[in-house]
């Protein structure tokens, strides 16, 4: 782990603060100061225009464009990809003081201050603009509603210190955004502007998706103000001309309703206009504070004695909820959330593997919605299976609408873990929420189709003694076209068995639902026998003597690379090594064997986990931001507290400290989810894959204590850990049977205390 | 071998004949009737214009354009590819009889006849054009000079049967050709036309390569003719208007000089014009006949009792010489020769592996020129090695100018056989020609650089006991990203050892040349020790018990596919199977183990060859046109005459009978070379890789006898085989020591007879 923090923001337990503006950190700050509410997201860009380096990014979940892929035309290789398209700049404003236009790249500015308040969700920025004619103080506030997904607001306050004269503020909606640095992708079929109001409609050229925005502007208007509607090019706005006197203060407040095809309340036209008149910035702020208060009451993690990580984990939790909380149907979690266009806004298997646990332990409905996305896109997965000469359903490795969006066949055609992760997600959902309705209504259909794929994508070896997957890429993306990948086979076997188990159980518990699903998918009992046979014959490469799983057939024979000897300037390897060279040795990019040892942790002895950790950890180069977290959790389990803390820190402050030097492109959303796992699964030692919930908390020596809560069944389990003991109780007084340090206990309303082990 | 002949042309021992025109066979006929002289090539298209399906293809060797590749931007992946660009239509003509324009797709035509005369190289086409006003008889002849590379000629004879009136013939040069079906790639910086003369210059847009053409027209001019120069768009021509009477005959003769950057005699301007005046169609025809007579005297293969294959093999030999005979420096042999733009005119490792033997046994200088191409492009191979994080030289898998033109990394970065084929080519050249000057002057430098690449591309396995290549694709392109590929390792070991052997020998025999090369490449003696060690540690996967080489580590474990059970409509698999599916089993596309058993045939016992043939042949799907030939030769060696003949027929009439249903895109030039090997190496049993030349002729039961000649050292070895015996003698009376049926003999001027074994 040669990664080093690049600290910039001020540490504060409830805020992210930037004092003074350094353009070098401009892009990173834009990502970190992103706001989002699952439906829409906006980077922390300077809304008044800025000629320095930046990414003016404004995104709507599920609003995507399509493009031809740069890929050879062989069967099964994706020829068109979809990407979340950079969209409307609804924060658009331009400010002129006489002949000077405000632009932080060129204007003279002092006292720059910016803060994201994690308790209100409000982003505030203020500074003094020293124009040639005198100084103006500006304050920009912005807010995206967490309650009404389509709504957002902006407030601009300008106070004159010693400036006198004309001020021009053009405020409105602008579709002049570029995607990927240079592509203009919006047609503007409609726009209009009148005094204090404007409206615009954009339409993507290929997918024809429409985004409509209604905007209402109010302010401290006086007779000295004049308003000119501006409706030109890609813009609908109102330009205010104001005569400002020394010491005077003016305020402009913009409220918007953005309607996309995914809008829950698509109140357009007059409904939108009247709704806008009811809204106010302060009203929305109060609503937002209350929403966030609920979140922190339910989901806060407190860390005593470590302010940096306290800030880090709260930033992560806040980002998780901004990215997703089950507010709307049909959305998923992009690799960068709604904070950037890298990875094309595509969702990966990270959703089920890294993000789902957070929601499973906080909001059952959000978790269910997330899984439902896979059901809603099952038909696309069926088509994808066909394209790959398989039966059943093959889930995409990267997607927005359910279609595969990865045009690199070596990922899209070889990685089966997106499909098995869906099965794993369904299993976790059942296990943690104790809600069997999802699997009965939706889950089984997916499980059957995934099993069908697994039964046709795999093969028996030459002498027909071993079943498994040939030419795959496991979670470790530095081993390509391998055979009998341990992870893939393990997950394949799990999926077959879980599918059969669900069917067996439903025979008794939900025979009608079972019959319905079987009829729908045309299930043949012979298929079940086939899956049973294949599961039983599934080959899990394992060295009995050393008790080490072999990542894939032949892995132990591979040339060894000393990952610590690779010069730091060669990272990332994708950019500095010949593409094929990456794959020619035993170096791994991210956990593969260790991954399933975590996912099915309770199935393996501490001894086996230790041996495999000791073998694979030194071979891992952590070129995935998801890698350290798994290592942190397992290191804690194996009583390697220093290593655990080291890996932990990296994920928790990944973006605040820009560890990977690419936070400017957007936040590492799934690593953010992993940061939560690091504390709850890692230090807290929570495990949910066994017969019952279990916990074995430890505490890093750097901390005095920590607290967290998880929702489990109908209860909230409250956990407090200090250096000597662990205290647990349930919030509502209900009983939870669970293991603490291996001992079965019943946790209830009364706090139970356990000595730290 | 599920391939079936699609017979169309008339069988004739010295001609390819088409009687009557079937548009369904139009593209195939265009390929088959291609003319070429290494410098330029032209498909057998209808020069008078044709609105049916066709590929008007006219190519100049080494004249290429460049384009951005559709490839991901990882290091070592080719981002720009080069392709032989469809060029000037120097045969251009348009013929009008009053308001009718001649167009074989729409005009009423009878008595269509076309023939390619293999003894003169002349293509002749004649038919009667039944216009509404009466019938005209037309005859088109064309010829490319085999003596003066830049020169070509065309003759058009029009005789009126009962037509009377105006005839308009516009004849000249036209750059209005399209590449790849729709791309216009030429700028025309200059063009002019005057009575009986025209000139045009084209320039490619990216590479800026210039093609100039000088054209002179003569004819049976009378006072009834009028000539109008035409210089417009991409065309420079002369339009003749003629009043033709019933029974009258008119003749037009066009001679052209085409100058490209590779022209040997770039006589341009006035020199070109005066040279054109000396030229005549009949003069060139006589010259051509004499040139071809020499070829047939030296290189003919006679087959008694099998007219189809007699025609086939002569067509193949003629095509070999048309494609290459060492006429100009810096050219190579494209996969389609100069007969089509498929495979981009790129040369592959086929050159050294399949084509070189033909030239080694016919024309030492041509063989040397072919190898020299690799020396001339050594610097590009050095750059390519760098791009792939290797030292030394990595030869491209597909190239025109020496740069890698394959943008599929799975071929370009994983296939080492282009490099080892160069080493093998140098070895063969020395062995067969007994000329050591090439290796001393050029070969060693290449060998050292290839060995350097082989020493850096490979790796030792985990416990450092085995050296070899990881993540490669061997000759069999249906096994990708495999480790320890037997062929690659075998060839790597050969290259190391041969390089060291050459250096050892040159210490005594050419110490100065050795010192010069060593100094030039900065050779360090430590490198030699390293190569020796790596050669000794080279892993050749082999099952001792079954005596079968394992194609690569783990191959024996792969799922089995019954290749005979694949429905014929699924071919070619690249088009019908999901891309990844092709690679997930033990099916092979073309010989891999069998390939090195052929290349180093004398090093293996008959028993081992048999066991490996019996194992691998049933697993081979022959999706490469090069595959059957290797199987034919080995089947003959293993005394499986039926199989040998079956595989043989396929290669020999591959294009005449359009076995692969894609001859319309261009001829299978390297398969054509393999056809020659099938007879000489196959039925003739010639082997040149052992201590001395050896031969063990057999004869297919379908034949009465066959004869062939090969040049060996300073001599020509003449071989005659009939059903009972083999007769050999040397043409000039010199002595050749060689093995016949394993017995050492001295063949001299007197015919020696051996009983058939």
The reply to whether B543 touches chain A by the CB within 8 Å rule is no
**Chain B closest-CA separation from residue A578 CA (Å):** 5
The reply to whether A566 touches chain B by the CB within 8 Å rule is no
One domain, residues B81 and B217: yes
- Choosing from A244, A265, A295, the residue where a domain stops is A295
Strand partners, A241: A168, A226
- Best mutation target among B71, B407, B537, B580 (most A Cβ atoms within 10 Å) is B580
The pLDDT value recorded for residue A454 is 98
How do residues A574-630 score in pLDDT, each as one tens digit? 999 999 999 999 999 999 999 999 999 999 999 999 999 999 999 999 988 889 999
Contact A409 B580 (CB under 8 A): yes
Better-predicted residue by pLDDT, A183 or A265 = A183
The pLDDT value recorded for residue B2 is 59
One domain, residues B46 and B2: no
In a domain, A13, yes or no: no
Contact A558 B483 (CB under 8 A): yes
Q: Which residues of B touch A388 (CB under 8 A)?
A: 578, 580-581
In a domain, A268, yes or no: yes
The pLDDT value recorded for residue A107 is 97
Mean pLDDT of B128-147: 97
The reply to whether A556 touches chain B by the CB within 8 Å rule is yes
Contacts of A614 (CB under 8 A, 6+ apart): none
The reply to whether A461 touches chain B by the CB within 8 Å rule is yes
The reply to whether A473 touches chain B by the CB within 8 Å rule is no
- State ipTM: 0.93
**Chain B closest-CA separation from residue A556 CA (Å):** 7
Q: How far apart are CA B257 and CA B193, in angstroms?
A: 15
Helix (H, G, I), strand (E, B) or coil at B407: coil
In a domain, A106, yes or no: yes
Which of B74, B471, B579 lies at the smallest CB-CB distance from A409? B579
In a domain, B728, yes or no: yes
Contact A580 B556 (CB under 8 A): no
The pLDDT value recorded for residue B741 is 96
**Chain A closest-CA separation from residue B272 CA (Å):** 45
How do residues B702-723 score in pLDDT, each as one tens digit? 999 999 999 998 899 999 999 9
The reply to whether A567 touches chain B by the CB within 8 Å rule is no
Q: Which residues of B touch A558 (CB under 8 A)?
A: 461-462, 470, 483
One domain, residues B44 and B20: no
Contact A72 B75 (CB under 8 A): no
Better-predicted residue by pLDDT, A422 or B651 = A422
**Whether pLDDT at B624 is above 60:** yes
In a domain, B720, yes or no: yes
Mean pLDDT of A311-333: 95
**What CATH number is attached to the domain comprising B229?**
2.70.98.40
Q: Which residues of B touch A583 (CB under 8 A)?
A: 470-471, 481
For β-strands A226-232 and A210-219, DSSP reports them as unpaired
In a domain, A660, yes or no: no
Contact A483 B554 (CB under 8 A): yes
Contact A462 B414 (CB under 8 A): no
Q: How far apart are CA B246 and CA A637, in angstroms?
A: 104
The pLDDT value recorded for residue B730 is 95
Per-position b or e across A162-188, b if 16+ CB within 10 A of its CB: ebeeebbbbbbbbbebebeeeeebbeb
Mean pLDDT of B190-197: 95
**Whether pLDDT at A276 is above 90:** yes
**Whether pLDDT at A1 is above 80:** no
One domain, residues B639 and B750: yes
Q: How confident is the model at residue A752 (pLDDT cuts 50, 70, 90)?
A: very high
Strand partners, A620: A588
Contact B462 A575 (CB under 8 A): no
The pLDDT value recorded for residue B398 is 98
What mean pLDDT is reported for chain B? Answer: 96
In a domain, B289, yes or no: no
Please name which of A723, A756, A720 lies closest in space to residue A741, comparing C-alpha atoms. Answer: A756
The pLDDT value recorded for residue B222 is 87
- Best mutation target among A68, A71, A75 (most B Cβ atoms within 10 Å) is A75
Distances (CA, A) of B263 to A419, B36, B320, B325, B335: 59, 15, 20, 15, 22
**Whether pLDDT at A389 is above 70:** yes
Q: Which residues of B touch A389 (CB under 8 A)?
A: 577-578, 581
Domain encompassing residue B59:
33-272
Please provide residue B574's backbone torsions phi and psi, each rounded to the nearest 5 degrees. Answer: -55, -30
Tally helices (H) and strands (E) across chain B. Answer: 21, 31
The pLDDT value recorded for residue B223 is 86
Percent of chain A with pLDDT over 70: 100
**Whether pLDDT at B266 is above 80:** no
**Whether pLDDT at B1 is above 60:** no
The reply to whether B554 touches chain A by the CB within 8 Å rule is yes
- Choosing from A491, A510, A538, the residue where a domain stops is A538
Which of B70, B413, B578 lies at the smallest CB-CB distance from A76? B578
Nearest CA in chain B to A582: B471
One domain, residues A148 and A48: yes
Mean pLDDT of A379-387: 98
Q: Which residues of B touch A580 (CB under 8 A)?
A: 76, 388, 409, 413-414, 471
One domain, residues A129 and A239: yes
The reply to whether B164 touches chain A by the CB within 8 Å rule is no
The pLDDT value recorded for residue A554 is 97
How many domains is chain B built from? 2
Please name which of A383, A375, A370, A332 lies closest in space to residue A80, comparing C-alpha atoms. Answer: A383
Helix (H) or strand (E) holding B19: strand B15-19
What mean pLDDT is reported for chain A? Answer: 96
Please name which of B4, B153, B180 lies closest in space to residue B83, comparing C-alpha atoms. Answer: B180
- Best mutation target among B397, B411, B474, B584 (most A Cβ atoms within 10 Å) is B584
Q: How far apart are CA B571 and CA B253, in angstroms?
A: 46
**Chain B closest-CA separation from residue A585 CA (Å):** 8
**What CATH number is attached to the domain comprising A506?**
1.50.10.10
Contact A74 B574 (CB under 8 A): yes
Altogether, the residues listed in chain B come to a count of: 757
Altogether, the residues listed in chain A come to a count of: 757
One domain, residues B64 and B92: yes
**Chain B closest-CA separation from residue A640 CA (Å):** 27
The reply to whether B120 touches chain A by the CB within 8 Å rule is no
The reply to whether A187 touches chain B by the CB within 8 Å rule is no
How do residues A191-208 score in pLDDT, each as one tens digit? 999 989 999 999 999 999
The pLDDT value recorded for residue B700 is 96
One domain, residues A145 and A239: yes
What are B278's two structure tokens? Answer: 């000396």
How do residues B123-132 score in pLDDT, each as one tens digit? 999 999 999 9
A535 φ/ψ sector (left φ>0, alpha ψ -120 to 50, else beta): alpha
The pLDDT value recorded for residue A222 is 87
Q: How far apart are CA A430 and CA A427, in angstroms?
A: 5
The reply to whether B574 touches chain A by the CB within 8 Å rule is yes
Contact A581 B388 (CB under 8 A): yes
Which of B70, B577, B585 lies at the smallest CB-CB distance from A70? B70
Q: How confident is the model at residue A264 (pLDDT cuts 50, 70, 90)?
A: confident
Contact between A113 and A127 (Cβ < 8 Å): yes
Nearest CA in chain B to A562: B462
Q: How confident is the model at residue B670 (pLDDT cuts 50, 70, 90)?
A: confident
One domain, residues B268 and B313: no
One domain, residues A84 and A210: yes
- Choosing from A538, A560, A594, the residue where a domain stops is A538
Contact between B103 and B51 (Cβ < 8 Å): yes
Nearest CA in chain A to B407: A72
Contacts of A390 (CB under 8 A, 6+ apart): A452, A453, A456, A457, B578
Mean pLDDT of A90-102: 97
Q: How far apart are CA B258 and CA B446, in angstroms?
A: 34
One domain, residues A289 and A406: no
Please name which of A15, A323, A65 lies closest in space to residue A203, comparing C-alpha atoms. Answer: A65
Q: How far apart are CA B589 and CA B626, in angstroms?
A: 10
The reply to whether B414 touches chain A by the CB within 8 Å rule is yes
How do residues A646-681 score in pLDDT, each as one tens digit? 999 888 999 999 988 899 999 999 889 999 999 999
Q: Which residues of A touch B574 (CB under 8 A)?
A: 74-75
The reply to whether A71 touches chain B by the CB within 8 Å rule is yes
Q: How far apart are CA A77 and CA A83, in angstroms?
A: 17
How do residues B539-550 score in pLDDT, each as one tens digit? 999 999 999 999
Strand partners, A183: A179
Half-sphere exposure of B321 (CA within 13 A, CB side): 25
Mean pLDDT of B258-271: 89
Q: How far apart are CA A261 and CA A251, in angstroms?
A: 33
Contact B483 A579 (CB under 8 A): no
Q: How far apart are CA A593 and CA A476, in angstroms?
A: 9
One domain, residues B142 and B213: yes
**Chain B closest-CA separation from residue A518 CA (Å):** 28
- Best mutation target among A79, A559, A583 (most B Cβ atoms within 10 Å) is A559
In a domain, A241, yes or no: yes
**Chain B closest-CA separation from residue A485 CA (Å):** 13
**DSSP labels, B227-280:** EEEEEETTEEEEEEEEEE-TT-EEEEEEEEEEE-TT-SS---HHHHHHHHHH--
């Amino acid at each position: 782990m040669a990664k080093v923090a690049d600290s910039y923001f001020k540490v504060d337990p409830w805020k992210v603060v930037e004092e003074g503006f350094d353009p070098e950190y401009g892009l990173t700050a834009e990502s970190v100061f992103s706001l989002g509410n699952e439906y829409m997201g906006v980077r922390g860009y300077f809304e008044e225009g800025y000629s320095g380096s930046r990414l003016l990014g404004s995104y709507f979940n599920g609003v995507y464009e399509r493009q031809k892929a740069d890929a050879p035309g062989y069967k099964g290789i994706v020829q068109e990809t979809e990407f979340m398209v950079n969209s409307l700049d609804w924060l658009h404003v331009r400010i002129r003081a006489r002949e000077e236009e405000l632009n932080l790249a060129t204007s003279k500015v002092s006292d720059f201050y910016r803060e994201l308040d994690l308790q209100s969700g409000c982003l505030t920025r203020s500074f003094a603009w020293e124009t040639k004619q005198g100084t103006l103080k500006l304050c920009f506030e912005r807010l995206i509603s967490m309650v009404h997904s389509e709504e957002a607001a902006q407030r601009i306050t300008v106070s004159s210190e010693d400036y006198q004269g004309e001020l021009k503020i053009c405020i409105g909606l602008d579709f002049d955004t570029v995607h990927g640095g240079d592509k203009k992708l919006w047609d503007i079929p409609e726009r209009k502007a009148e005094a204090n109001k404007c409206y615009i409609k954009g339409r993507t050229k290929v997918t024809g998706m429409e985004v409509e925005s209604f905007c209402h502007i109010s302010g401290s208007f006086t007779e000295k103000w004049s308003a000119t509607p501006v409706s030109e090019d890609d813009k609908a706005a109102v330009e205010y001309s104001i005569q400002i006197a020394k010491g005077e203060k003016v305020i402009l407040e913009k409220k918007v309703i953005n309607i996309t095809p995914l809008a829950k309340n698509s109140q357009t036209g007059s409904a939108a206009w009247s709704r806008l008149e009811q809204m106010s910035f302060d009203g929305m702020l109060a609503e937002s504070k209350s929403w966030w208060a609920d979140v922190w009451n339910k989901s806060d993690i407190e860390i005593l004695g470590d302010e940096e990580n306290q800030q880090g984990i709260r930033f992560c939790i806040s980002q998780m909820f901004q990215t997703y909380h089950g507010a709307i149907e049909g959305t998923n979690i992009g690799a960068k959330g709604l904070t950037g266009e890298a990875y094309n806004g595509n969702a990966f298997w990270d959703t089920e593997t890294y993000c789902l646990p957070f929601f499973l332990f906080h909001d059952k409905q959000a978790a269910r919605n997330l899984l439902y996305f896979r059901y809603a896109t099952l038909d696309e997965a069926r088509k994808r299976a066909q394209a790959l000469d398989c039966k059943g359903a093959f889930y995409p490795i990267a997607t927005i609408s359910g279609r595969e969006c990865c045009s690199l066949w070596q990922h899209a055609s070889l990685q089966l873990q997106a499909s098995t992760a869906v099965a794993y997600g369904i299993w976790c959902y059942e296990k943690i929420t104790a809600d069997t309705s999802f699997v009965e209504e939706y889950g089984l259909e997916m499980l059957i189709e995934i099993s069908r794929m697994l039964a046709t994508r795999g093969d028996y070896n030459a002498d027909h003694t071993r079943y498994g997957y040939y030419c795959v890429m496991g979670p470790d993306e530095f081993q390509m076209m391998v055979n009998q990948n341990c992870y893939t086979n393990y997950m394949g076997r799990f999926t077959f068995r879980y599918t059969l188990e669900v069917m067996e159980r439903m025979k008794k518990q939900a025979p009608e639902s079972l019959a319905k699903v079987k009829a729908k998918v045309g299930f043949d009992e012979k298929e079940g026998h086939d899956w049973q046979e294949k599961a039983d014959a599934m080959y899990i490469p394992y060295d009995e003597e050393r008790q080490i799983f072999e990542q894939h057939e032949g892995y132990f024979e591979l040339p060894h690379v000393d990952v610590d000897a690779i010069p730091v300037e060669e990272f990332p390897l994708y950019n500095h090594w010949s593409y094929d060279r990456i794959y020619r040795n035993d170096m791994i990019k991210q956990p593969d064997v260790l991954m399933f040892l975590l996912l099915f942790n309770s199935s393996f002895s501490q001894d086996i986990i230790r041996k495999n950790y000791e073998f694979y950890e030194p071979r891992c180069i952590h070129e995935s931001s998801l890698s350290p977290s798994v290592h942190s959790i397992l290191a804690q389990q194996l009583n390697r507290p220093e290593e655990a803390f080291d890996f932990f820190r990296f994920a928790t402050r990944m973006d605040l400290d820009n560890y990977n030097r690419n936070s400017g492109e957007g936040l590492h959303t799934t690593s953010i989810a992993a940061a939560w796992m690091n504390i709850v699964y890692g230090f807290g030692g929570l495990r949910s894959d066994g017969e019952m919930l279990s916990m074995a908390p430890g505490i890093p020596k750097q901390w005095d204590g920590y607290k967290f809560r998880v929702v489990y069944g109908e209860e909230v389990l409250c956990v407090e850990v200090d250096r000597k003991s662990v205290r647990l109780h349930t919030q509502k007084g209900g009983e939870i049977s669970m293991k603490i340090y291996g001992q079965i206990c019943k946790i209830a309303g009364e706090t139970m205390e356990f000595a730290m082990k």
